[in-house]
Amino acid sequence: MLLAVCSIFALSIAAPFLHRIAKDYCAPLLALLPGSICFYFISLAPRIAEGKPVEEKWEWVPSLGANLTFYVEGLSLLFAILVTGIGTLIVIYAGGYFKGDAASGRFYSLLLLFMGAMLGIVISDNLFALFVFWELTSISSYLLIGYNHKDEESRSSALQALIVTGGGGLALLAGFVLLGMAAGSFEISAINQSGPEVVHHSLYPLVVIGVLVGAFTKSAQFPFHFWLPNAMAAPAPVSAYLHSATMVKAGVFLLARLHPSIADTPVFVWTVSIVGAMTMLLGAVMGAISTDMKRMLAYTTVSILGCLTLLLGVGVESALFAFGVLVLAHALYKGTLFLVAGTVEKLSGERNVKHLGGLFSRLPALGIAGSLAAMSMIGVPLFFGFVAKEAIYEAALKATNMSGLWIAAMVVSSALFVAVAILVGIKPFFGPEVRELTVKKAPALMLVGPLMLSVLGFAFFFLPDLLGKYLIHPSSAAVIGDANIIVLKSWHGLNAVLGLSVLTIAIGIVIYRFLPKLGSVSESSFAKDPFGAISVYERSLAGVLRFGQWQASTLQNGYLRKYILLTICVTTAFAGIVFILHTNWKSLHLTFDLRVHEAALIIVMVAAVAILVRASSRLTAIVALGVLGYAVALVFMLYGAPDLTMTQLCIETLSVVLFVFVLYRLPQFIRLSRRRTRLRDAIVASCVGALMACLVLVASSEPADSHLRQYYSTKAYEEAFGRNVVNVILVDFRALDTLGEITVLAVAAIGVFALLKLRPPADTEGAA
């Protein structure tokens, strides 16, 4: 298993080099690997049909429970065969599609990267490994949709797909983590065996939200459906492979895989059924009223995904059985139709169904493939699509709730499918020629895929026993256990289901007839954006951007004064709140025994501050600041700290002198700030001042009887024989520190000397 995934990744890395050597023969060569892996999986079928899953385990991050474990049961097997089998055909098809394109090595590389990741999703047992592969498919899908990166539209739709699926992916991760915690294991096989534990866990609602958002975004369910039609900007092989056969099915696959553990609640059943049914109808209607071939196919894919979701919601045995049949049938016919549409577009440059017709004479092989697939999509007997349609009607009939509603929805959407199938698969070839088109010759490589898929869709009708036994039954058994064996039959005889099928085709043909009269619908705003999901996406994207810009221009405007203002405000508020909440005001013992000289000092300080803030010249302000500094020095002296006084006096003098030097070079001082600004600054400054004053009050009411003072004052004489404690500390107790300080001073002096000697060159003096 690991070998299979890793070998595809390795080939992905090697592909550009191989392409450089092998040129146009590259594609068939590359296809050999997925082809052989497909055969390997097919060879596992008998073993799995006997109920023996294949397991493999590699440790990765054991402490998290993130391991590379693979667990292949029926459901995984079905998907693995689809991923590798269709992948093989797509690679071959791409060989024709990109014939002569020297840069297409990158395309193969991305396509194989996607294939490896997709294979990883379907066979992983570990939630983390699954998630890693899941995100890898989102990323490779993003790169593949945006493959024509010069085109603005394909870039933006690629981004849209990535934002929707990637965002959903993260919701999924949240869901996975919570699911793992609820179930006590990150291995899906173990979670599924844990019984009702998950459903009854308190985290269950969050688990369901996470998993459903992840699955719905990936599988383009309403209201996240809009990215898929837009993703049709991708080259045809990508649309056929990622956006119809494989990646978009990852969501429903996941729901199916987790079905045993999380599905057994009304919340899950109703959400999934209703969303599925809505998506099914919406997709079918949108498909029928579009005219662009690829969009029509994309919308019907959305519809089928809705149907698959609905089947999972219905959840009875026959529904899960129908799920497997429909996955297989849809992959065959929709893959073909996408490839046919892509080929027609590539060869004729036209993908509007209104303009296509009469191509059969020029593209006979393609015409056969297209019409076979269309028949299958319509559900004509003798095609596998018919079997699928019978199966889903059967499932809807057996649904426990609302059976009639589901059947009606299915019939309506299937009838619309009939119209789409005729328009896309049959009319371009057998319809009347609408306008002259220059059609190139189809390369053989581009025909292998569509022919093979469409013929299989025909042949499978005749092999119900084989398919039922080895693929379909094991896949539904993996989800629901094999209590009742449903036999896959191609022909059920004349019964209600057959009646529904006939009815569907009849309505479908009527719709086809009336569609041309609805011509203008596809231009209406409803057709472009049903229920406004796209505009919600676009508006929220624009809103987030605007919010970011608004913040950037108001908060982040580059003015240092604003930054400082905000910093100070927040700090004051921050410290203030802590302070007010946690200060025990009663414990403060404040005393007010003010002496005359202290009062005088305070008056001097206040006056200095008043002059400072009102000063109209810088020199006055500096002098006032100096007065303030000297007053502080006097305070130190009054409280018996002569050394501090000395330091303060020196620094104050020095800074005043330095200030004056600098001022000398500054331009004339002008008061530029407005009154309001000054008022605001005054308020902020007062708040900071008040806070600091409070802090000082609180801190100074704490008795500071440090044992250091006592220690040094006793030991100074005893051990160092000095009476001046400060001196003793400096030269004896902390002599090494003092030496260090002297060294620092010396180094600084050398630096100052160097700076003084350094004179700026004459031309830069102004700038300096």
Give contact residues for another protein (rule: CB under 8 A). Answer: 60-64, 128, 131-132, 135-136, 139, 149-150, 155, 159, 162-163, 166-167, 170-171, 173-174, 177-178, 181, 203, 206, 544-545, 547-549, 551-552, 555-556, 558, 560, 562-564, 566-568, 570-571, 574-575, 578-579, 581-584, 587-588, 695, 698-699, 701-702, 704-708, 711
State the Cα angle at 409 between 408 and 414, rounded to 5°. 100
What does each C-alpha distance from 309 to 32, 256, 406, 694 come to in angstroms?
34, 9, 12, 66
497 vs 395: CA distance, rounded Å: 10
Distance CA 560, CA 566 (A): 10
With respect to another protein, which residue has the nearer C-beta, 607 or 687? 687
Distance CA 594, CA 186 (A): 73
Q: CB of residue 271 vs another protein: minimum separation in angstroms? A: 19
Query: How far apart (Å, rounded) are the C-alpha atoms in residues 496 and 502?
Result: 10
To another protein, the closest distance from the beta carbon of 748 in angstroms equals 13
Residue whose C-alpha is closest to residue 220's, from 275, 155, 171:
275
Q: With respect to another protein, which residue has the nearer C-beta, 54 or 731? A: 731
SS (H, E, C) 49-77: HCCCCEEEEEEEEHHHCEEEEEEECHHHH
User: Which of 482, 352, 508, 477 shows the shortest CA–CA distance to 424?
Assistant: 352
Give me the least distance between CB of 112 and another protein, in Å please: 17
Considering the complex, what minimum distance in angstroms separates the CB of residue 558 from another protein? 6
To another protein, the closest distance from the beta carbon of 59 in angstroms equals: 10
CB atoms within 10 A of CB 711: 11
Q: How far apart are CA 601 and CA 631, in angstroms?
A: 7
Q: What ranges in 559-595 are assigned the alpha helix state H? A: 560-582
* Least Cβ distance, residue 344 to another protein (angstroms): 29
If the CB atoms of residues 562 and 614 are measured against another protein, the closer one turns out to be: 562
Rounded Cα–Cα distance for residues 279 and 298 (Å): 12
Shorter beta-carbon distance to another protein: residue 160 or 501 = 160
CB of 52 to another protein, least distance (A): 30
Output the smallest distance, CB 717 to another protein, in A. 15
The residue among 132 and 392 lying less far from another protein, judged by its C-beta, is 132
d(CA 645, CA 172): 66
The packing angle between helices 403-421 and 384-397, to 10°, is 160
Calculate the dihedral angle through the C-alpha atoms of 54, 60, 66, 72, rounding to the nearest 10 degrees: -10
Say if residues 85 and 241 touch (Cβ distance below 8 Å). no
Tokens encoding 678: 């000054």
Q: CB 714 → another protein: shortest distance, Å?
A: 9
SS3 70: strand
**Nearest CB to another protein, comparing residues 51 and 543:** 543
503: tokens are 């009815």
The nearer residue to another protein, 162 or 378, going by C-beta atoms, is: 162
Please name the residues in contact with 311: beta carbons below 8 A apart, sequence gap of 6 or more. Answer: 276, 319, 320, 322, 323, 326, 392, 395
Q: Which is nearer to another protein, 665 or 707 (CB)?
A: 707
Residue matched to tokens 């508006």: 539
CB closer to another protein, 61 vs 503: 61
How far apart are the C-alpha atoms of 373 and 57, rounded to whole Å?
Answer: 40
Tell whether the torsion through CA atoms of 739, 745, 749 and 751 is positive or negative.
positive
Q: How far is it, in rounded angstroms, from Cα 371 to Cα 364?
A: 11
Please give the structure tokens belonging to residue 414: 């299937």
Report residue 45 as tokens.
């079928």
DSSP code for 723: S
Q: Cβ of residue 129: shortest distance to another protein, in angstroms?
A: 9
CA 115 to chain centre: 20
CB of 741 vs another protein, minimal distance in Å: 13
Least distance between another protein and beta carbon 188 (Å):
17
175 vs 450, beta carbon nearer another protein: 175
Nearer to another protein, 382 or 569 (CB): 569
Report the C-alpha gap between 87 and 103 in whole angstroms. Answer: 20
Name the residue nearer to another protein (CB basis): 213 or 329. 213
| Nearest in space to 494 (alpha carbons), one of 403, 414, 381 | 381
Shortest Cβ 715–another protein spacing (Å): 8
CB 415 within 8 A of CB 508: yes
We find the least distance from the C-beta atom of residue 583 to another protein, in angstroms, to be 5
- Comparing CB distances to another protein, the nearer of 217 and 303 is 217
Q: How far is the CB of 755 from another protein (least distance, A)?
A: 13
Q: Rank residues 527 and 644 by Cβ distance to another protein and give the closer one.
A: 644
Structure-token pair, residue 534? 């796209």
In the complex with another protein, the residue whose CB is nearer, 365 or 694, is: 694
